[in-house]
């Protein structure tokens, strides 16, 4: 085949792919924002945004993360800035992580519409949050999403116990899942009731009040994937 002809085909293909991508772009929704909030923001801001997340309760002198007492703007631009840059611009506390590189455009814009509803009518926003907790069949995909929001800061992206929080959690450090051999039933227990209740470190928090059994089973599927 002639080289120019091949280039033309490649060009046309690229064109049709970009047209398709544009057509598939869905509008941001409050429901999608609530789902992302559930997965990514509750560790610090709490299940209903009131600042009672596990991390804020566990770490001494953690800044107040109650979003009802927000200090920065409620307008879409300020919310978007907070999510994209976190504390990097020196306006918010540096412990608010930047999500610009981690979340897609659709996820960020959906969070913005969700947060606007939260500031306007917190009761309704909380009701939407609740409705996104529909029980699903356990899966590694769900496990991965929950892991990113609730476990990664300690156990790390590779499950090797080298998350960002690991610097301050020692003796024992967050477990390296590559070496984990716990049977499923015992994993379920430690995730549900926390380390202390099963005679292990209290620094492994209990998740039983915030995660359903199905969520925990999804996590177990995902975490076992790190094993060697
Ligand atoms: C690791 C903990 C942590 C996580 C996870 C986190 N935040 Fe924050 N967030 C903070 C802290 C700390 C602050 C700063 C509080 C302050 O400066 O008073 C903050 C502040 C904010 C603010 C500004 C509030 C104000 O005072 O106006 C918004 C909006 C916000 N976060 C949204 C989110 C969203 C949306 C997510 C999930 C994508 C998220 N946060 C995840 C810790 C976190
Ligand atoms: C605040 C830090 C922290 C967070 C967040 C955290 N963990 Fe842990 N985790 C630990 C520590 C520390 C240990 C080690 C406990 C010990 O060895 O006594 C541990 C141990 C474990 C173990 C035991 C592994 C084994 O084989 O013995 C499992 C399973 C586990 N964590 C799952 C999770 C899951 C799933 C999440 C998220 C839902 C999570 N952890 C969130 C700190 C954390």
Give 17-35 pLDDT, tens digit per residue.
Answer: 444 444 445 899 999 999 9
**Ligand 1 within 6 A of 43 CB?**
yes
Residue in 15, 45, 59, 35 with CA at minimum distance from that of residue 145: 35
Q: Give the separation between CA 208 and CA 138, rounded to whole angstroms.
A: 16
Q: Which atom of ligand 2 is least distant from the CA of 166?
A: 2
Task: For the chain, give the percent of residues with pLDDT over 90.
Answer: 50
Is 21 within the bounds of a domain?
A: no
Instruction: Based on the fold, state whether residues 100 and 169 are members of the same structural domain.
Output: no
Is 8 within the bounds of a domain?
A: no
**Confidence (pLDDT) at 20:** 41
pLDDT over 80 (residue 13): no
pLDDT over 60 (residue 48): yes
Is 19 within the bounds of a domain?
A: no
**Confidence (pLDDT) at 180:** 95
**Ligand 1 within 6 A of 111 CB?**
yes
Instruction: Based on the fold, state whether residues 117 and 177 are members of the same structural domain.
Output: no
Of the ligands numbered here, which is closest to the C-alpha atom of 152? Answer: 2
Is 83 within the bounds of a domain?
A: yes
Residue in 192, 194, 158 with CA at minimum distance from that of residue 178: 158
| φ, ψ of residue 122 in degrees (nearest 5) | -60, -35
Domain range for 99 = 30-131
Q: Give the separation between CA 225 and CA 220, rounded to whole angstroms.
A: 9
pLDDT over 50 (residue 177): yes
- Least reliable range by pLDDT among 3-7, 142-146, 177-181: 3-7
Q: Give the separation between CA 68 and CA 31, rounded to whole angstroms.
A: 19
Instruction: Based on the fold, state whether residues 98 and 156 are members of the same structural domain.
Output: no
181 within 8 A of 175, measured Cβ to Cβ: no
99 within 8 A of 84, measured Cβ to Cβ: yes
Instruction: Based on the fold, state whether residues 67 and 109 are members of the same structural domain.
Output: yes
Instruction: Based on the fold, state whether residues 117 and 43 are members of the same structural domain.
Output: yes
Is 13 within the bounds of a domain?
A: no
Which range, 17-26, 49-58, 167-176, 185-194, is most confident? Answer: 185-194
Give residue 60 CA to ligand 1 midpoint distance, Å.
17
Per-residue model confidence as pLDDT tens digits over 70-100: 766 789 999 999 999 999 988 888 889 999 9
Total domains present in the chain? 2
Average pLDDT over residues 53-59: 75
Is 3 within the bounds of a domain?
A: no
Q: Give the separation between CA 30 and CA 28, rounded to whole angstroms.
A: 7
Given 100, 131, 162, which residue is the final one in a domain?
A: 131
Here the tokens at position 95 are: 């412990």
Q: Give the separation between CA 185 and CA 121, rounded to whole angstroms.
A: 41
Average pLDDT over residues 210-221: 92
Q: Give the separation between CA 2 and CA 135, rounded to whole angstroms.
A: 55
Task: For the chain, give the percent of residues with pLDDT over 70.
Answer: 86
Give residue 80 CA to ligand 1 midpoint distance, Å.
11
**Ligand 2 within 6 A of 142 CB?**
no
Instruction: Based on the fold, state whether residues 117 and 36 are members of the same structural domain.
Output: yes
Is 6 within the bounds of a domain?
A: no
Greater pLDDT, 155 or 53? 155
CATH number of the domain residue 37 falls in: 1.10.760.10
Q: Give the separation between CA 146 and CA 133, rounded to whole angstroms.
A: 12
Instruction: Based on the fold, state whether residues 115 and 160 are members of the same structural domain.
Output: no
Name the residue at shortest CA distance from atom 26 of ligand 2.
180
Given 131, 149, 171, which residue is the final one in a domain?
A: 131
Give residue 44 CA to ligand 2 midpoint distance, Å.
17
Average pLDDT over residues 108-119: 95
Here the tokens at position 7 are: 């280039």
Q: Which atom of ligand 2 is least distant from the CA of 211?
A: 38
Q: Tell me what the pLDDT averaged over the chain comes to.
A: 85
**Confidence (pLDDT) at 23:** 42
Rounded to the nearest 10 degrees, the angle between the axes of helix 122-131 and helix 105-120 is: 130
Instruction: Based on the fold, state whether residues 89 and 173 are members of the same structural domain.
Output: no
Q: Give the separation between CA 77 and CA 96, rounded to whole angstroms.
A: 17
Instruction: Based on the fold, state whether residues 110 and 155 are members of the same structural domain.
Output: no
Is 121 within the bounds of a domain?
A: yes
Would you mind telling me the total number of residues written for the chain in this entry? 228
- Residue 208's contacts (CB-CB under 8 Å, 6 or more residues apart) are 191, 192, 193, 194, 216
**Burial environment of residue 10 by CB neighbours within 10 A (0 to 12, 13 to 18, 19 or more):** exposed
Give residue 165 CA to ligand 1 midpoint distance, Å.
16
Instruction: Based on the fold, state whether residues 161 and 96 are members of the same structural domain.
Output: no
Instruction: Based on the fold, state whether residues 78 and 149 are members of the same structural domain.
Output: no
Per-residue model confidence as pLDDT tens digits over 126-156: 889 888 765 567 889 889 989 999 999 999 9
Given 110, 131, 152, which residue is the final one in a domain?
A: 131
Instruction: Based on the fold, state whether residues 37 and 120 are members of the same structural domain.
Output: yes
pLDDT over 60 (residue 200): yes
pLDDT over 50 (residue 14): no
């Amino acid at each position: 085949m002639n080289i120019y002809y091949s280039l033309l085909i490649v060009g046309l293909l690229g064109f049709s792919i970009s047209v398709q991508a544009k057509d598939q772009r869905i509008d941001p929704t409050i429901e999608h924002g609530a789902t992302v909030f559930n997965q990514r923001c509750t560790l610090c801001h709490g299940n209903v945004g009131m600042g009672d997340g596990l991390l804020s309760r566990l770490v001494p002198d953690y800044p107040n993360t109650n979003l009802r007492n927000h200090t920065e703007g409620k307008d879409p631009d300020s919310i978007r800035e907070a999510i994209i840059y976190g504390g990097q611009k020196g306006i918010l506390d540096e412990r608010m992580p930047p999500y610009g590189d981690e979340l897609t455009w659709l996820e960020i814009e959906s969070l913005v519409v969700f947060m606007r509803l939260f500031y306007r009518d917190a009761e309704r926003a909380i009701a939407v949050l609740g409705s996104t907790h529909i029980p699903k069949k356990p899966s590694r995909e769900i496990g991965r999403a929950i892991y990113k929001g609730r476990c990664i800061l300690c156990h790390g992206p590779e499950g090797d116990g080298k998350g960002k929080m690991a610097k301050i959690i020692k003796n024992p450090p967050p477990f390296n899942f590559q070496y984990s051999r716990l049977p499923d039933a015992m994993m379920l227990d430690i995730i549900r009731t926390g380390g202390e209740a099963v005679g292990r470190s209290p620094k492994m928090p209990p998740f039983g009040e915030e995660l359903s059994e199905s969520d925990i089973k999804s996590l177990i599927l995902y975490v076992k994937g790190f094993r060697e």
